[in-house]
Amino acid sequence: MSQITRKDVPEEKSWNLADIFSSDEEWERSYSVLDKDFDEILKESISLNDAKETVELIKRYEQLLGALDRTSCYAMYKYSEDESDSLNQNMMGRSQILVGKGNNVTMKVVNALLHIPKEKLDQYIIEEVELLSFKRFLERIEEKRKHSLTPEMEEALASLSQTFKTPESLFLTVTSSDIKFAPATDRNGKEVPVSIHMYFTQIETSPDTILRRNAYQSLSDGLKKYQHGLAKTLAAEINKNVALAKLRGFRSAIDMLLQYSSPGTQIYSADGISSEFFESILDTFRTELSPHMQRYAKLRKRQLGLDQLMFSDVKAPLDPDFDPPISYQEAGEIITAAVGVLGPEYQEHMQRVFTERWVYRGDNVGRRMIAFGGGVHGVHGYSFYPWGGNLFDLMLLSHELGHTMHYSLSAENQHFINNAQSLLFAEAPSTMHEHLVVDYLRENRDDPRLHRWLNMYLMMSYHHNCVTHVLEAELLRRLYKIAESSVPLTTSIISETKGKILSEFWGDTVEIDEGAKLTWMRQPHYYMGLYPFTYSVGISASTLVAQRIKAEGQSVGEQWTEVVKKGGSMNGLDLYRMAGLDMSTTENLKLAIANIGRIVDELEQSF
Which pLDDT tens digit goes with each residue over 568-580?
Answer: 999 999 999 999 9
Q: Could you tell me if residue 202 is inside a domain?
A: no
pLDDT for residue 264: 42
Provide the 8-state DSSP code for 531.
T
pLDDT above 70 covers a percentage of the chain that reads: 98
- pLDDT per residue over 438-460, tens digit each? 999 999 999 999 999 999 999 99
Sign of CA dihedral 59, 402, 353, 527: positive
Are 74 and 21 a contacting pair, CB within 8 Å? Answer: yes
**CA-CA distances (angstroms) from residue 570 to 59, 333, 422, 465, 543?**
20, 32, 8, 23, 21
Distance, CA of 601 to CA of 90 (rounded, Å): 53
Stated pTM of the model: 0.92
pLDDT at 159 over 90: no
* pLDDT range class, residue 198, cuts 50, 70, 90: confident
Q: Could you tell me if residue 92 is inside a domain?
A: yes
Q: Which residues, other chains included, contact 341 with Cβ-Cβ below 8 Å and sequence gap of 6+? A: 436, 549, 553, 554, 557
**What burial letters (b/e) apply to 588-603, b meaning 16+ CB within 10 Å?**
bbeebbebbeebbeeb
Distance, CA of 188 to CA of 186 (rounded, Å): 5
Are 473 and 282 a contacting pair, CB within 8 Å? Answer: yes
C-alpha angle 367/370/372, rounded to 5°?
105
* CA 439 from centre of chain: 24
CATH of the domain at 138: 1.20.140.70
SS3 164: helix
Distance, CA of 528 to CA of 76 (rounded, Å): 17
**Number of compact structural domains in the chain:** 1
Range list of H helices, 132-226: 135-145, 151-159, 161-164, 166-173, 196-198, 209-224
**CA-CA distances (angstroms) from residue 1 to 172, 254, 362, 372?**
20, 39, 11, 19
Q: Which residues, other chains included, contact 478 with Cβ-Cβ below 8 Å and sequence gap of 6+? A: 497, 501
Q: Could you tell me if residue 12 is inside a domain?
A: yes
Tell me which of 148 and 10 has the higher pLDDT. Answer: 10
Q: Which residues, other chains included, contact 605 with Cβ-Cβ below 8 Å and sequence gap of 6+? A: none
Sign of CA dihedral 115, 117, 121, 124: negative
pLDDT for residue 269: 56
pLDDT at 360 over 90: yes
- What is the chain's Cα-based Rg? 24
Q: Could you tell me if residue 448 is inside a domain?
A: no
Q: Could you tell me if residue 501 is inside a domain?
A: no
* pLDDT range class, residue 242, cuts 50, 70, 90: very high
Q: Could you tell me if residue 96 is inside a domain?
A: yes
Comparing CA positions, the residue from 363, 325, 366, 328 lying closest to residue 1 is: 363
**CA-CA distances (angstroms) from residue 96 to 38, 39, 162, 163?**
14, 15, 7, 11
Residue 372 pairs in a beta bridge with 384
Q: Could you tell me if residue 95 is inside a domain?
A: yes
Q: Could you tell me if residue 41 is inside a domain?
A: yes
Are 568 and 421 a contacting pair, CB within 8 Å? Answer: yes
pLDDT mean across residues, the chain: 93
pLDDT for residue 167: 95
Tell me which of 107 and 326 has the higher pLDDT. Answer: 326
Residue 373 pairs in a beta bridge with 383
Are 419 and 567 a contacting pair, CB within 8 Å? Answer: yes
Are 522 and 216 a contacting pair, CB within 8 Å? Answer: no
* pLDDT range class, residue 196, cuts 50, 70, 90: confident
- pLDDT per residue over 455-501, tens digit each? 999 999 999 999 999 999 999 999 999 999 999 999 999 999 999 99
Show the domain range for 131: 6-164
Q: Which residues, other chains included, contact 184 with Cβ-Cβ below 8 Å and sequence gap of 6+? A: 191, 192, 194, 203, 211, 214, 215, 217, 218
